[in-house]
Structure 1
Amino acid sequence: MAFAVNRWLMGIRTFTLKLSLQVKLILSFVFIIFIPVILFSWYTLNEESAKAMKELSENNKNVLKVEKINIENNVELMGWTGQLALSNREMNNYLQIEQMQDAARVLHIKSDVVNSFQYFLFNNPRIANVRLFTDNSFVNEIWPVILQEARIQDKPWHHAVMAQNGLPWWEIQEDVGLTGVPSEQTADEPFMTYLQEFRYPDNRVHNGILEISMKLSDFFSQTFSSVQDTNSQLIVVARSGQAYSLKDSPVFKKHSAEELMNSLELTSNTDYEKVQFKVNGESYLAFQSYIPSIDIHLVNMASLAETNKSINHSRVRYIVLISLLVVFLILLSYLMQSKILSRLRALRESMQQVRSGNFNIELPPIAVTDEVGELSFHYQQLILKINELIQEQATRQAAGKEAELRALKNQIDSHFLYNTLENVKMLAEIEGQYHISDIMTSLGGMMRYSIDWKRDHVMLSDEIQQVQHFVSIMNTRFDGRLDLRMSIAPECFKQESLKMSLQPIVENAIKHGMSRMHSSDGNLAIRIDAERLDHTCVIKITDSGCGIADEKLELLNQMLRMEESAYQEARQLFARKDHQDSNGIGLRNVDQRVVMSYGAEYGIRIESQEGSYTCIIMTLPYRVMGGEVDSND
């Protein structure tokens, strides 16, 4: 997974590197503006969606609440009607007779008791009917109030009412027609019926069942009202699972109430419960509540089609606005950056001309002092500097040609000098002046070594040979009082050394050693030691001169690495004290050459003991001329 992500990121990086600077700037500009706009739009759209869902939820919850209040009122009305019916004394006396009544008594009951009973109970138009079913065989039926219980004994709810022991039972009936009454007219809609068993005064013997009916559209007035929100619809679910609602509601346009209820799990919560679900891709929001007093579930079913459509319209509107904004930003960025990058393009074209070798280019005058203007200014200065350097190089080449001619002339002169020295040497040998012949040999070797300067680095053995020639010549001056001794480790003969780095040190030793001679025989011993220590080569040049005082020795070591101004002051101090040129200028030059070639950790230092010796220690990195590498490295 990580490898795939890295590969994807590398692909994006490779693609972006191929884009032009202007495209990158436009993309970055749009990207910086686009992300906040997207986040703001996403937040606003979510807020609008949440607000729409909240408003829909509140409206549907209020509708359900209003319907529950209506139901409670109707339950109270039908319960109050039932209490009035069962508390009528004359009606109870008639239902509890223990012998057959004559026709006059029955007519009296009908005209006085039943008609008054009907008038009193039916003063509320929502009550469809009130019927008393009795099992007293002495009671004559008085239609439509007093009927024999045998007419309802085949009803599915009869047994449930008897099991209530006098408590009310609520039942939704599709048909309230009675058995054995073919001519009775039945309604086209179901009824909500209030059923209650009544007994004889001793409250132990069953007397009959009271039935109070109300049309379902009156009992659930909000459910069957056509004046309501077209996106929601109340549904009444009986204990049998049968759903009752306004069938032509727009909510049931695609799915019937039964289909929707089959997709919804009914709750036992007497409060409000919200459930969102889908049926064949259609979204619905259901608010439901259980009413235990009448054992029904009341559900307010809302279709989310219009709400989702409104949210989708808002989403499309935001997408269009964002797209227009992106196009506007791209055009604005393109126009702004074209003006800025036009000067960069001019710089690029001039650079291409310079790359092709044309340095005589003319750049437009700089009128803007921004970063691009500053870059143009520095580029112009760079071109001017390049042209100056070209002219200087041409001058150098001309001077180099002249120097070559002078070098050729000097080479001719040096050959003449070498030939003359060889002739003198041959004459000395012929005359038997072998000492002069040896001096000519040493002098010729020194001249060839010093004049033939083709490179700055030589082997240590070459430097030692040069020192030997030098000491040999100087012995002529000092009558052989110079004694040169050497101890060179074999691995140091090919050590890389700076040309003419040892002779100035030996010359300095002879100069100061012979001027302050303290030995009894008047001889000066000079010893050269070279050895390898780890990754360095240490060369020591020791003379048996009079040495250096401690305070002077410390100052001399400091002078080797002093700044130029401080060095000149110290040099003047030595000149005033010693009245001679004993300022270590030769040693300082050698040390500076070593530092410039190998670094500050290398160079020379002076060790001395007054009245005994002076030792110059040169430290070089161990390097073998010719590129050879020691096996220990």
Structure 2
Amino acid sequence: MKLILSFVLVIFIPVLLFAWYAWSGVSSRSIQELTKKNESILDIEKTNIQNNVEVMEWTAQLALSNREMNDYLELQEEMDTAWLLDFKNKTYTGFQYFLFNNPRIANVRLFTSNPNVHEFWPVVLNESRIREKPWYDTVMGQKGIVWWEIQLGREILKGASTVEEIKVPHMSLLREFTYADGTHNGIMEVSMEVRHFFTKTFSTVQDPSSQLIVVSRDGSVYTDSSAAIFLETSAEQLMAELQLTGEERNGISRFEMDGHSYMAIQTFMPRLGVHLVNLVGLDDTLADIQRTRNLFIVIIVVLMAVLSLLSYFMHSIILKRLRILRDSMKKVRGGDFHVDVQVRGNDEVGELAHHYRQLLKKINELIVEQVNRQAAGKEAELRSLKNQIDSHFLYNTLENLKMLAEIEGQYTISDALTSLGGMMRYSLQWTRGHVRLRDEVQHIQNYIAIMNIRYDGKLELRLDIAPECYDQEVLKMSLQPLVENAVKHGMNDLDAESGKLTITIGAFVRLEECVIEVTDNGCGIPEERLRLLSGMLRMEETDYQELRSHAETRRSEGSGIGLRNVDHRLVMSYGREYGLRMESVEGSYTRIAMTLPHLIRTGGDTR
């Protein structure tokens, strides 16, 4: 059942992951496509607005660049009626026709403060008509820079009862114009109806699930109020719920209101002082996503049910022979290792049965082998015990010889046997790889005592060890190869009449390190040979073996294997920053410095 369940899970998990990935992909793609589509609508509207801005600015530029009209606006004296009629018929009519050749331009007005200028409605008007407008002071403060304003009322002829106020919103370009000397003359206004200025916002050909909205500086909302998206909630209510931003790049946000989901794509146009918002209703899109999700769930459930049944029947057929193997395993567990598994075939189960039979055969062979191994182990234990007895016998024999030498008055031999016994105990009783420096120095003292017998007392050992270094942790048998090198090469090259070979062991603490130095007063090492030996310490094994083979042909030169082994042990124990360093002056001395981390051993512990 576990196998069937695991197989079903192996099917279910990928199916569920794939379904989740596919569904989330469909959902995200739907939202992304909807966002991309409505961002495109917003960008098209921004392009339309930019075109209309250019048309209005071009119209304003034409109006201010007309020489005849400028001359009229800058009159220094009041003209008679005949001159005014002639101006109206020749200059003003052509000027008005030229300005209004674009049908989208609603009005072009020049409000002048020049008392010598007579009004020609609806283009040339007196500035007193607009002085009470809320935007008047703002335009005057712009100093000739264009100011854009959305206006609702079009009451220009103040006090004229025959002219009705038209509640049609206009986008107006407002700009101060001046005399030639730069003093104030008046204000120009170029207007276009909002429905023409924001073309796509008021277009009847739109996606019913989205609608463009314009929000002015004062928070007024301009849009097609009859759009389907505003049937339940007005545009003003929706904009009150939306947090408008001051960023020029498109910003996307989502919110819910009255149980409906919306997405707002907004941008701010600082030049016009308006927010342009594309409001998108997400109800239909989310409903489509929900239907797609439900369809996925149904498909997954059906697929899982079919796969589960199919898996169950297939496993029932396969597991029939596995049950036979299970029963044979129970017999083996009971101690019967001569079971004949009656399962044959070339498929996986047949192969499993074949290997199981081979396993039983191997188990029987291993049982026999283990019995023989146990017998051999007992014999090895006896042999080890015998060797232990032999080592104790050897120590006892050395003690007896030592006592005999003392009785006979052979104190030199007695001292040598004492040193030899100490060396044997230290080297043979290898219970741990790290010892205290004092133990290693004691071993070196025994070694020098024995070697002095050979060299007739010409070896002298001096100790210059700081008190805090005696309990320093060192690798066992790490100093002896350094001292052996000093004895071997120092004594071979020492002049027979020159005196003793002095070997100094020094130790001191430097920061977090302990430095142990072995120095001899021998003849030193030539500089080229010193570089070679230093390089051999951490040379690659193949290169080292090649150099060593050359060195073996010249017996007078050492191969450096002892120093290399000590350096490798130090690196393996403490890291590559620790190890040996060699220095020598030919004809003077040789010094080998061992660098270790400063670790103090107390008994068998390190701290």
For normalisation by structure 2, the TM-score amounts to: 0.52
Q: Is the contact made by 2:154 and 2:168 (CA closer than 8 Å) also made in structure 1?
A: no
Letter in 2 for 1:303: G
Aligned equivalent of 2:498? none
Letter in 2 for 1:140: H
Q: In the TM superposition, what are the counterparts of 1:543-554 in structure 2 within 5 Å?
A: none
**2:137, 2:162 → 1: CA distance?**
26
* 2:158 is the counterpart of 1:182: no
Partner of residue 51 from structure 1, selected from 14, 18, 29? 29
Aligned equivalent of 1:134? 112
Letter in 2 for 1:180: G
Per-residue deviation, 1:109: 2.4
* 2:238 is the counterpart of 1:291: no
**1:375, 1:79 → 2: CA distance?**
89
Change (3 A) 1:103 1:314: same
Q: In the TM superposition, what are the counterparts of 1:201-600 in structure 2 within 5 Å?
A: 201-204=180-183, 206-337=184-315
**1:316, 1:309 → 2: CA distance?**
11
Change (3 A) 1:375 1:54: closer
**1:158, 1:185 → 2: CA distance?**
22
Which sections of structure 2, spanning at least 5 residues, go unmatched? 327-341, 354-370, 376-380, 382-607
Per-residue deviation, 1:285: 2.2
Partner of residue 172 from structure 2, selected from 182, 193, 198? 193
**1:319, 1:240 → 2: CA distance?**
50
**2:269, 2:226 → 1: CA distance?**
25
Per-residue deviation, 1:216: 0.7
Per-residue deviation, 1:320: 0.8
Aligned equivalent of 1:60? 38
Q: Is the contact made by 1:286 and 1:299 (CA closer than 8 Å) also made in structure 2?
A: yes
Q: Is the contact made by 1:151 and 1:180 (CA closer than 8 Å) also made in structure 2?
A: no
Give the SS at the match of 1:210: strand
Change (3 A) 1:185 1:374: same
* 2:14 is the counterpart of 1:36: yes
Per-residue deviation, 1:29: 3.5
**1:231, 1:203 → 2: CA distance?**
52
Q: Encode CA deviations 1:331-369: one digit per residue, 9 max, x unaligned.
A: 323444565678999999xxxxxxxxxxxxxxxx99999
Change (3 A) 1:214 1:375: closer
Per-residue deviation, 1:245: 1.4
Q: Is the contact made by 2:265 and 2:278 (CA closer than 8 Å) also made in structure 1?
A: yes
Aligned equivalent of 2:602? none
Q: Encode CA deviations 1:547-571: one digit per residue, 9 max, x unaligned.
A: xxxxxxxxxxxxxxx99xxxxxxxx
Q: Encode CA deviations 1:257-276: one digit per residue, 9 max, x unaligned.
A: 22222222222222222223
Aligned equivalent of 2:501? none
Q: Is the contact made by 1:114 and 1:145 (CA closer than 8 Å) also made in structure 2?
A: no
Q: Encode CA deviations 1:262-300: one digit per residue, 9 max, x unaligned.
A: 222222222222223333443322222221221112122
Give the SS at the match of 2:62: helix
Letter in 2 for 1:330: S
**2:344, 2:160 → 1: CA distance?**
111
Per-residue deviation, 1:196: 1.1
**1:264, 1:134 → 2: CA distance?**
42
Q: Encode CA deviations 1:493-549: one digit per residue, 9 max, x unaligned.
A: xxxxxxxxxxxxxxxxxxxxxxxxxxxxxxxxxxxxxxxxxxxxxxxxxxxxxxxxx
Aligned equivalent of 1:100? 78
**Superposition RMSD in Å:** 4.0
Q: Encode CA deviations 1:397-426: one digit per residue, 9 max, x unaligned.
A: xxxxxxxxxxxxxxxxxxxxxxxxxxxxxx
* 2:123 is the counterpart of 1:125: no
Letter in 2 for 1:149: E
Change (3 A) 1:341 1:96: same
Aligned equivalent of 1:480? none
**1:316, 1:26 → 2: CA distance?**
28
Letter in 2 for 1:67: E
Structure of larger gyration radius: 1
Letter in 1 for 2:89: S
Change (3 A) 1:108 1:332: same
Per-residue deviation, 1:63: 1.6
* Identical aligned residues as a percent: 50
Which segment drifts farther, 35-44 or 331-340? 331-340
Q: Encode CA deviations 1:180-201: one digit per residue, 9 max, x unaligned.
A: 2333355553110111112222
Q: Is the contact made by 1:190 and 1:215 (CA closer than 8 Å) also made in structure 2?
A: yes
Letter in 1 for 2:219: G
**2:126, 2:59 → 1: CA distance?**
21
Letter in 2 for 1:69: T
Per-residue deviation, 1:57: 2.2
Give the SS at the match of 2:177: strand
**1:102, 1:227 → 2: CA distance?**
54
**1:135, 1:369 → 2: CA distance?**
110
Change (3 A) 1:374 1:110: closer
Aligned equivalent of 1:556? none
**2:228, 2:324 → 1: CA distance?**
69
Change (3 A) 1:347 1:71: closer
Q: Is the contact made by 1:173 and 1:192 (CA closer than 8 Å) also made in structure 2?
A: yes
**1:67, 1:326 → 2: CA distance?**
50
**1:109, 1:374 → 2: CA distance?**
114
Letter in 2 for 1:51: R
Q: In the TM superposition, what are the counterparts of 1:587-626 in structure 2 within 5 Å?
A: none
Change (3 A) 1:106 1:375: closer
**2:76, 2:46 → 1: CA distance?**
44
- What is the aligned residue count? 358
Partner of residue 149 from structure 1, selected from 124, 127, 139? 127
Which sections of structure 1, spanning at least 5 residues, go unmatched? 1-20, 349-364, 377-561, 564-594, 596-600, 602-633
Per-residue deviation, 1:175: 1.8
